[in-house]
A and B are shown apart, each in its own frame.
Chain A
Amino acid sequence: MKSEKQRVRGETLLEIRGLRIEGNSDGVWHPIVKGVDLSLKRGEVLGLIGESGAGKSTIGLAAMGFARPGCRIIDGSILFDGIDLRAAGEEDKRTLWGSRIAYVAQSAAAAFNPAHKIIDQTVETAVRRGVMDRGKAVADAVDLYRRLQLPEPAHIGERYPHQVSGGQLQRAMTAMAMSCRPDLIIFDEPTTALDVTTQVEVLAAMRDIVEQFHTAAIYITHDLAVVAQMADRIMVLRHGREVEEAPTRVMLSEPREDYTKTLWAVRKLAKPESVSDDIVLSVRNVDASYSGVVKVLDNVTVGLPRGRTVAVVGESGSGKSTLARVITGILPPSRGEILFNGKPLSRALNERDKDTLRRIQMIYQSADTSLNPRQTIRDIIGRPLEFYQGVQGAARDRRVAELLDSIEMDESYIDRLPTELSGGQKQRISIARALAAEPDIIICDEVTSALDQIVQEEILTLLMRLQKDTNVSYLFITHDIATVRAIADEIVVMHQGKVVQQGPKSQVLNPPHPAYTELLLSSVPQMDPDWLTNLLARRAAGKAGA
């Protein structure tokens, strides 16, 4: 990769001063962006990073002079190449959009029109603006597809959006944005919805093409490791304000603000590994399928030691969540058996006795859907106490208060509804509900993936402390390797319904790996601006060697 100095040259392209944006909810306007300054030179890539509610997407769209319905820009100036976008009329902005400023959306599957071929949508703006005639535009699009390493570049455009994969569609959208060779592209979380192994290809393609055409870009994401690969400069946002801004390398090596460090909080956690032979739950040669046709689990064998954490890691479609459903009895396995405390576990949920049910608890990814919005915290945590232990009335309330205390929440929350809590607090309530049953094992299904980094770190720390206190075992299902590093004693790698590898953390995370583990681990972005470059070089060398 070229150094920043070579890449960034020329005059200022975009200049935003004192930007303030409000959003409307239930008829009340409240601030989303509270005075942000931003400037971008030609050919420069600026990373906008922040957690949910930071206002980063809103700023990205405002850089085009656009506010979503329900939002309004109330103050500040937006100058794009000398044009005042706040003063510009719709007609003027429309001539800029697509041709000089382009937008790449988070979900390409939703942002492509299902009724038209990809090629038609790619060349639409170029042809209508008269930049090229259709023949030339199509040839150019095919060239862009090739540069973006899409398979069959000459023919892929003839397909409809639903006929190609998510990663390919995301690259096609980048080609669409590039078709008029804009001065500026806004990338709005373009890889967030993708699996890590797919993300690498898309990131590499996007980075190269921006570099080749010397296009300026704003890259919006919540993942610092991703933006480190893409951006020359990074701006950290929080609650609609700038926290700090610095060149990428400076930001990574010496961040000024404490908040910035919390953005990779989980990466600093690492539970010391501890191995045990006391297996509490043993899944043996299990097959499972929905509707009996496609095998979602194929001969899966997994062991969970008492008081330890086994992380099950895999991409979407690997069968990791299905494994949880099989263990809980919601999806009876079609073959194989599950031993719990040495005894065979009934396949189906309704054949299990109350005590067995109590001993296996589950925490879900989204606390929004796993806590009944109509029940108070008292009812949510109190119900397992009442149901399993028969604790009632004041004694139950006392126990609920103790449990709230153990998840570091004040007892005053007891009469709240889940909707009145933050995301992290809700997930804590889910944990308390599981703990109330005094279980042997807790299955955690992506419990931190919907949360911000700092909250993730708090939840993971809490889970580890609770494990120390109660000797509970966790089966921790996740797609995030940083989380695995933070919490696991053992790791199970799954791919397409099969267990690729199982072993202690130190063994799985260090070479030699099976091929898939290698691919998965190497695809996880690192906090190193050169990671992507080095990875691609390594992979190219590997291919050349082979």
Chain B
Amino acid sequence: MHPVLRTVLQRLGLGVLTLFVVSVVIFASLEMLPGGFAEAILGQGATPETVAAFNREIGLDRPATVRYVEWIGNIFRGDFGYSYAGLGGSIKRSVTDLIAPRLYNTFFLAIMTAIVAVPLSLILGILAALYRNSWYDRIVNSVTLTTIATPEFFIAYLLMFFFAIRNKWFYSLSTVSDTTDFIEHIYRAALPAITLMLVIVAHMMRMTRAALINLLASPYMEMAQLKGVPRREAIIKHALPNAWAPIATVIAFNLAYLVVGVVVVEVVYVYPGIGQLMVDSVSSRDMPVVQACALIFAATYIFLNLLADIISIVTNPRLLHPK
């Protein structure tokens, strides 16, 4: 088998394994529930009968392995179970129905952010690396350091204050529904997206700069210069083919970071995404929803890192052209 294919398959296998372990951990979190969980959920007035019914409903009377297989099997069919909120009542609310529209909103926000943030930060990072120690580099360095050190909700409220309250350019609350049209959706999601962009760009730019400086310091770049290759050509022809791996890693890392960043930003702007849903469910200890959200976040995270690894593998000349 070609080494590239073999390494990619190995990496894929490892990704699936990680996902499996993570799903077990998420599933097991329910097992770690302290005693009296049902009482806590159902409130003070719960009778022993309702507690028993609740436990039966969530399946605590059957062995864990059976329930895991059932749980993961259902998830493969897109069924995340039922929310606790409707348990015992007449209307059972399916977690999938709860999540689907919000997942769309979250991805909408994340993709919208990424489309602007990724190219922007790559360009800024490359410029900072090329003009290292210039005034541009210094300013960008301290600005991004400050941005990174600032909590997302602070940036979010600052933007809200200046662009939605002082100047009414945007809505301070990003309410959207499934009837909101595409352009309107973009407009309403603009402030959350800009908030996320500021944070992501700062991170991604710094990492791009560091990775490139590392690359530009390699002996073959000096050799290219001493062979009389013009700087621009040296970067395109000699640095770029070796830059895919570090750049892919930087992008994946930051998109994964984006996945986490949405939680806080969604809450600030009351944007109906999966992050806000998760926070609400944590407060009400609605475990099936929490588990579903956690699994989706983790899977996205793992998938992005896997993608970066695969890009590094398929652009590695040592693997592409084995001895």
Contact = CB atoms under 8 A, between A and B. Distances in A.
Interface of A: 64, 66, 68-69, 94-99, 102-103, 105, 107, 110-116, 124-125, 128-129, 159-160, 162-163, 176
A105 B223 contact: yes
8 contacts: A99-B228, A105-B223, A111-B220, A113-B220, A115-B241, A115-B242, A125-B227, A163-B321
B224 to A, nearest CB: 7
Nearest to A160: B321
Contacts of A95: 228
Interface of B: 217-220, 222-230, 233, 237-238, 241-242, 317-318, 321, 323
Contacts of A163: 321, 323
A390 B193 CA distance: 68
Contact of B226 (A97, A110, A112, A160): A97
Given A110-B220, A163-B323, A124 B242 contact: no
Given A162-B317, A162-B318, A114 B227 contact: no
B317 A114 contact: yes
B242 A113 contact: yes
A128 B229 contact: yes
Q: Which 10 A-B pairs have the closest CB atoms?
A: A98-B228, A115-B241, A97-B228, A98-B227, A110-B219, A111-B223, A103-B226, A113-B220, A160-B321, A94-B228
B323 A110 contact: no
Contacts of B229: 94, 98, 124-125, 128
A113 B230 contact: no
Contact of B224 (A96, A99, A102, A113): A113
Contacts of B238: 113, 115-116
Given A94-B230, A99-B228, A162-B317, A111 B219 contact: yes
A376 B220 CA distance: 40
B318 A114 contact: yes
Given A107-B219, A160-B318, 6 more contacts: A66-B225, A94-B228, A124-B229, A162-B317, A162-B318, A176-B227
A124 B223 contact: no
Nearest to B132: A69
A394 B217 CA distance: 50
A116 B224 CA distance: 12
Contacts of A107: 219
Contacts of B228: 94-99, 125, 128-129
Contacts of A110: 218-220
Contacts of A103: 223, 226-227
Given A116-B241, A162-B323, A163-B323, A98 B220 contact: no
Nearest to B216: A69
A64 B226 contact: yes
Nearest to A117: B321
A124 B226 contact: no
A401 to B, nearest CB: 45
Nearest to B220: A113
Nearest to B221: A113
B218 A97 contact: no
B296 to A, nearest CB: 37
Nearest to B230: A94
Given A98-B228, A115-B241, A124-B229, A105 B219 contact: yes
A426 to B, nearest CB: 27
Nearest to B244: A115
A114 B242 contact: yes
A252 B195 CA distance: 72
A66 B226 CA distance: 8
Given A110-B220, A163-B323, A115 B317 contact: yes
B244 to A, nearest CB: 9
A230 B323 CA distance: 33
B220 A112 contact: yes
Nearest to B217: A69
A10 to B, nearest CB: 24
A189 to B, nearest CB: 13
B256 to A, nearest CB: 27
B317 A97 contact: no
A182 B237 CA distance: 23
Contacts of B230: 94
Nearest to B318: A162
